[in-house]
């Protein structure tokens, strides 16, 4: 059976599933950990306003009809031609090429629908899987951002990868 990967706008009903995925103790490099499904619902309720204001465009990742993660593009509010991609995927689905395909789908949204000219992926230097996703999608490493991402109350160095059109 061919794997089917798609993205759709996040819904408040995704909150419980996102809460489960994001609170996996093996999520070492993704700093968002909602304290409850209700807190996640509150966040998801802001999505339509954030989309309308072109602040962020967030999606649910669907793999063979199952919710397996979330992703989005955050728009740089000072340089509106730049977006930053982020994603998280349930550990049970790691290593299946889902993130690589999701980045392609987000690029289509960013470059074609949102008119971005530059898309960035910023990841903790230790996150080898995200580095591979960026490289597979032809993003170029532009540098190291020192003490850039906060995770578990610690500032970590990050890689900056980008693609421009």
Q: Domains (ranges, CATH) in the chain?
A: 5-164 (3.40.630.30)
> Among 102, 27, 34, 110, which Cα is nearest to 70's?
102
Give the per-residue pLDDT at 72. Answer: 97
Give the per-residue pLDDT at 145. Answer: 97
Residue with tokens 């951002």: 145
Q: Give the integer Cα–Cα distance in Å for 55 and 104.
A: 20
Mean pLDDT of the chain: 95
Give the per-residue pLDDT at 29. Answer: 83
The answer to whether the beta carbons of residues 67 and 93 sit under 8 Å apart is no
Give the per-residue pLDDT at 155. Answer: 93
Residue with tokens 């998801």: 44
The answer to whether the beta carbons of residues 106 and 7 sit under 8 Å apart is yes
The answer to whether the beta carbons of residues 151 and 128 sit under 8 Å apart is no
Give the per-residue pLDDT at 2. Answer: 59
pLDDT tens-digit map of 74-122: 999 999 999 999 999 999 999 999 999 999 999 999 999 999 999 999 9
Residue with tokens 């793999």: 63
pTM for this structure?
0.93
> Among 121, 128, 127, 164, which Cα is nearest to 143's?
121
């Amino acid at each position: 059976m061919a794997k089917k990967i798609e993205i759709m706008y996040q819904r408040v009903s995704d909150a419980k599933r996102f809460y489960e995925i994001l609170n996996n103790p093996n999520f070492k490099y993704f700093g968002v950990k909602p304290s409850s499904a209700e807190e996640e619902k509150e966040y998801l309720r802001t999505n339509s306003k954030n989309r309308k204001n072109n602040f962020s465009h967030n999606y649910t990742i669907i793999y063979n009809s199952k919710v397996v993660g979330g992703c989005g593009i955050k728009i740089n509010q000072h340089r509106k031609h730049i977006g930053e991609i982020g994603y998280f995927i349930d550990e049970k689905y790691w290593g299946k090429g889902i993130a690589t395909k999701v980045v392609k789908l987000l690029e289509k949204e960013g470059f074609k629908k949102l008119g971005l000219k530059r898309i960035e992926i910023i990841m903790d230097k230790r996150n080898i899987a995200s580095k591979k996703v960026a490289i597979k999608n032809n993003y170029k490493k532009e540098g190291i951002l020192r003490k850039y991402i906060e995770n578990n109350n610690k500032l970590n160095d990050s890689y900056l990868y980008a693609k421009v059109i």
